[in-house]
Amino acid sequence: MTTAHEVLAKAVDILSTPSKSAVRMLAEYTANSAEKEALLALCSNSTDQYKRDLVAEQLTWLEVLRSYPSCTPPLGHVLSVLPVLQPRYYSIANSPKLHGARHVRFAFSVVHYVTPKGRERRGLATWYLSQFAKNLRLAESSTENTETIIPIFFRPSRDFICPTTTDLQQRDIIMIGPGTGVAPFIGFLEHRYLATRQEEGSSDISSKGEWHLFFGCRNEAADFIYRDVISESLRNGALQQLHTAFSRDREFQETGRVVHVQQRILEFGAKIYKLLTEQNATVYICGDGKGMAKGVLETLTEILSIHGNKDKPTAQQQQTQLMLDK
């Protein structure tokens, strides 16, 4: 039997912001007339109060209910409109050939910000994981035998998959992953080194396909994750070139210019063009699909246009065809 506590803790998102229709429902169960009018004003279509007071401030269900003490909706009605707690997906950042099939490593950025009115907000999953990791480090130094279970599941990817054994050895690869977007490429690099070494019985793979990694973050000293693995990959030949963009480091401090991976890709445009059009290279992009990935695709179109002497629509068509051919 599932209890109400288990449902609220594990199945629904009580830290989400109530929708307008949900606020209207809450008003129906509010006894105090002033509080009821205030809730109705929040969900009114005639003002922007909902966006200003709830959305911008990311007010949660709990905060709304606490702000209006006379609002006492039935638990069943609340559960029927609360959004389902959504899973969070993270890329595996290690090769099972190196660490074993039961070992999984992944990276995440802790969501932490302040709203316009000064409310501190943290990401539901990333804050939980960060605290878990902190407690785990403390437990490692303790003599007590403790165990914590985090429910996880594996979701196979249909398109973003590790290159085949042949491609690991021979194909030219361009990997673009700023921030935690670099995570899957760490597994790729480990997998390439081990798979090629096992295939040929040699640790020298520098004569194989040409692999490039474009990585960006705000600050090199604080945010350059997996630096040790990337450095080792450059040393052992799994990675041929690393291209970095640190948006808030020395160049920004000296010139005020913010440098992202798109600028680094454009600077390396002639080589990228050759890799794509002459060497049949494969491009992997991992990161923010709405912002960074869109910007990277636009940059690749610009490279095809500049170095291929084509207008933008023609370059866009060429890029689309290259994607379809992979």
pLDDT in tens, 30-88: 999 999 999 999 998 877 899 999 999 999 999 999 999 999 999 999 999 999 999 99
- pLDDT value of position 146: 66
Backbone phi and psi for residue 201, each to the nearest 5 degrees, phi listed first: 70, 25
Q: Residue 176 corresponds to which tokens in the numbers above? A: 């673009």
C-alpha neighbours within 13 Å on the C-beta side of residue 119: 13
Contact 273, 281 (CB under 8 A): no
Contact 229, 238 (CB under 8 A): no
- What is the layout of strands, in order, in the sheet containing 173-176? 241-246, 211-217, 173-176, 282-285
Q: Residue 297 corresponds to which tokens in the numbers above? A: 């695709």
177: alpha, beta or left? (left if phi > 0; alpha if psi -120 to 50) = beta
The alpha-helical segments, DSSP class H, found in 116-164 are 124-140
- pLDDT value of position 9: 87
Burial of 262 (0-12, 13-18, 19+ CB in 10 A): buried
- pLDDT value of position 27: 96
Query: Residue-wise pLDDT tens for the chain (326 aa)?
Result: 789 889 988 899 999 999 999 999 999 999 999 999 999 999 988 778 999 999 999 999 999 999 999 999 999 999 999 999 999 999 999 988 887 878 889 899 899 999 999 999 999 999 999 988 888 777 666 666 667 778 888 998 888 888 887 788 888 999 999 999 999 999 999 999 887 776 655 555 555 789 999 999 988 888 899 999 999 999 999 999 999 998 877 766 667 677 889 999 999 999 999 999 999 999 999 987 677 888 999 999 999 999 999 999 999 998 988 887 76
Q: Residue 122 corresponds to which tokens in the numbers above? A: 């943290």
